[in-house]
Amino acid sequence: MTQSFRALVPEDLQQARPCEHLFRAAACTVLNTIEGGRSPENVARRVYGGRDGEPTRILLRGTTTQATTATTGWAAEISQHAVRDLIASITSLSTAAELIQRGLLVDLGRFAQLRIPGRTLNPADAGTWLPEGTGTATVRQLAIISGATLNPRRLIVITSFTREMDEASLIEDFARQQISEASAIKLDTAVFGTQADDGATPQGILHGLTGLTPTAGGGMNALSGDIKQLIAALATNNAGKGVIFIAGPSQVASLKLLVGPRFDYDVLASQALQATSTVIALEPSSFVSAFSPTPEFDVAAVTTLAMDDTAPGNINAAAAAKSLFQTDSLALRMTLRAAFAMRAPQHVQYISGVTW
């Protein structure tokens, strides 16, 4: 936890991770709908008790009172760290979340757009070697190039619960599991995609790149050929020292079986790359992401949901629909603004259709 969080919350309230208060806030929002209470804050006071529930109540006040989550000394500190800790907590489920932790993470705040300076690595910028007492040092103006433009997009997670689940004492656990798993899947699919920014889904880090040609033949020769290609492509663009590899679970298993512990690069597995047999190599310090400090929670009890996890559209006779009123269920929706990009686009390279 950072100092700002410690300054806002007494030390004896800091036992729970910041993201726990985010999941508690979601649970209290759902319970408040069931009980017909006056506010989720009152539910938090009853469920989590006196001082132990204070961070959750502050977070709930911040998300229900106008513009308070951006106010220092109010809910800003808790909400910012709760969101960042939420990302950290799903690194076991999401490879993109792991990459976010390794890259540059900035605060999105309420900005409509953030421009991040580009990353260049030019040894000439480092200065001049001189002998003692003679020579003249060169003077160079550091080049600040245009880098990533972060356009925030909304990540929306909708989950539904039966009333029996909502009334159970495990509602916080249900909320944690479903929000975490759903967020993990969507993060990986978007971050490691080739899609352009269409105004809804952010641009994938592979967009605009030409994939390298996979080495034919399979086995160890193909694996070593592909790895050398990826490293060489990064090195050509002054990257590669801190490279990590990301691949589908099958390719990660093959790599470990063929090479074993002699391969000392970090390797991460992502289900999003499995179908295309894609292997990515990137410099994590060139990856930048941003999240808003204000997750928004909404609960519905009498609406109808289009139960489609691929391309949901308007509800019609052909759509798989679920009436929350008829099934005595509730739906929880979390909305979070997020953005990500590469500060140096060529600091990520990939090969699709590998043969090993």
Q: Kind of pairing, strands 304-306 and 321-323?
A: antiparallel
Mean pLDDT, the chain, rounded, equals 75
> How far apart, in whole angstroms, are the C-alpha atoms of residue 16 and residue 21?
8
Task: Give 225's Cβ-side CA count (13 Å radius).
Answer: 14
- DSSP annotation string for 235-266: HHTT--TT-EEEE-HHHHHHHHHHTGGG--SE
Instruction: Report pLDDT for 128.
Output: 73
d(CA 175, CA 154): 19
Given a cut of 50, whether residue 47 has pLDDT beyond it is yes
3-class secondary-structure state, position 292 = coil
Percentage of the chain lying above the pLDDT 70 cut: 65
pLDDT at residue 135 in the model: 75
Rounded Cα distance, 69 and 293, in Å: 7
Which of 24-38, 88-102, 121-135, 266-280: highest mean pLDDT? 266-280
Q: At what angle do helices 95-102 and 171-191 cross, to 10 degrees?
A: 80
Nearest CA to 343 out of 120, 15, 43, 111 is that of 120
Cβ-in-10-Å burial (0-12, 13-18, 19+) of 56 comes to buried
Q: Which residue has the tokens 């691929």?
A: 310
Domains in the chain: boundaries = 1-89, 219-289+342-351
Check residue 333 and give its pLDDT.
Answer: 81
Between these two residues, 107 and 202, which has the higher pLDDT value?
A: 202
Instruction: Please name which of 119, 84, 95 lies closest in space to residue 289, comparing C-alpha atoms.
Output: 84
Beta bridge partners of 149: 115
Average pLDDT over residues 333-354: 88
pLDDT (tens digit, 9 = 90+) per residue, 64-73? 443 334 444 4
Q: Which helix (H) or strand (E) holds 104?
A: strand 104-107
Q: Are 51 and 14 in contact (CB under 8 A)?
A: no
Residue given tokens 């800790």 in the structure block: 85
Pick the CATH number of 219-289+342-351 from 1.25.40, 1.10.3470, 2.60.120, 3.30.2320: 3.30.2320
173: left (phi over 0), alpha (psi -120 to 50) or beta: alpha
Structure-block tokens of residue 91: 């690194």
pTM above 0.75, yes or no: no
Residue 24 or 255, more confident: 255
SS3 state of residue 202: coil
Q: Which of 122, 159, 157, 153 is nearest to 140 (CA)?
A: 122
State the average pLDDT over residues 28-52.
Answer: 70
Determine the 3-state secondary structure of 297 from DSSP: strand
Least confident of 17-21, 207-211, 249-253: 17-21
Cross-strand partners of 337: 154
Indicate the length of the chain as a whole number: 356
Whether pLDDT at 314 is above 70: no
Q: 176 is written with which tokens? A: 């944690």
The count of other CB atoms within 10 Å of the CB of residue 164 is 9
- Please report, for residues 75, 215, 232, 255, the alpha-carbon distance to residue 220 in angstroms, rounded to integers and kept in the order given: 54, 10, 18, 9
pLDDT reported for residue 292: 74
Name the band, by pLDDT with cuts 50, 70 and 90, for residue 273: very high
> What average pLDDT score do residues 315-325 get?
70
